[in-house]
């Protein structure tokens, strides 16, 4: 599994710098107290303009990072191919944390303010301050953590932490990436609809994507449609019906089937009903 997208903070004596650590090392500290035998991930600074990238053979290279939220705010500078790449990077990182780390790491605060973009628009997850590890044979109950508007709805009545909480937040983030704004109103109108006959299901996908960008090309439109479908599956109200991040990554890496060549005419209802294999 691709380990890109995880960003680690250097020790306190080097505050202000960060590096993308060797995630295959032995047990390391994560977010100060979180530990993972298969990964080294520590909190990145929430807002930074310069970060020193430390990796084998790359000492001293200066990269300029910015918040994903700010990049989306600039609209046309973040075109479709970059946006799809951002979604893939975050999905890869979460899948690695959930499935490849032992024990698993749950971020608990996936949102646009915690995604950093480097100079090539590669996305990195930051701020592991509220992260938890799912230790075997231990309680996964905890107090609420996260950002309202991204937190899974079940956290309103249960404080049990699991991977599906991150999956929901990822779905919100993916919608934000293609819409260019937080999808709160869209989620409320779509997922609160009483039945598939609701007018909310008649909304065309092309009418909710970021209007500041030119219409996507044929290949881009297939990718945007796939991202939208996966995002909708991730924000399923029932956490048991949400895919895992590994399943999301599998779909993002596969050849996109012809059924997704429907961007100009597909409705939200049709996307919700669209059946996919391995998701």
What are the catalytic residues? 109
Q: What is the longest distance spanned by two Cα atoms in the chain?
A: 59
Strands 123-125 and 115-117: antiparallel
């Amino acid at each position: 599994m691709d380990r890109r997208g995880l960003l680690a903070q250097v020790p306190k004596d080097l505050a202000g710098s960060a590096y993308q650590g060797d995630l295959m090392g032995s047990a390391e500290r994560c977010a100060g107290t979180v530990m993972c035998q298969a990964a080294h991930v520590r909190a990145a600074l929430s807002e930074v303009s310069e970060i020193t990238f430390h990796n084998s053979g790359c000492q001293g290279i200066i990269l300029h990072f910015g918040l994903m939220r700010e990049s989306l705010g600039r609209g046309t500078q973040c075109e479709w191919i970059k946006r799809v790449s951002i979604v893939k990077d975050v999905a890869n990182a979460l899948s690695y944390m959930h499935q490849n780390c032992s024990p698993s790491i749950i971020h608990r605060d996936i949102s646009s303010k915690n995604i950093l973009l480097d100079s090539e628009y590669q996305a990195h997850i930051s701020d592991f301050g509220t992260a938890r590890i799912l230790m075997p044979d231990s309680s996964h109950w905890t107090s609420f953590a996260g950002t309202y508007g991204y937190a899974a709805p079940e956290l309103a009545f249960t404080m049990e932490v699991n991977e599906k909480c991150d999956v929901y937040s990822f779905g919100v983030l993916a919608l934000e990436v293609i819409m260019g704004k937080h999808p709160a109103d869209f989620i409320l109108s779509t997922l609160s609809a009483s039945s598939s006959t609701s007018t909310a299901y008649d909304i065309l996908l092309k009418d909710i994507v970021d209007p500041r960008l030119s219409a996507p090309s044929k290949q881009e439109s297939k990718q945007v449609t796939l991202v939208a479908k996966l995002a909708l599956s991730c924000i399923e109200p029932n956490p048991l019906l949400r895919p895992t991040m590994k399943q999301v990554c599998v779909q993002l890496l596969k050849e996109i089937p012809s059924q997704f060549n429907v961007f100009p005419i597909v409705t939200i209802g049709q996307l919700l009903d669209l059946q996919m294999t391995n998701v």
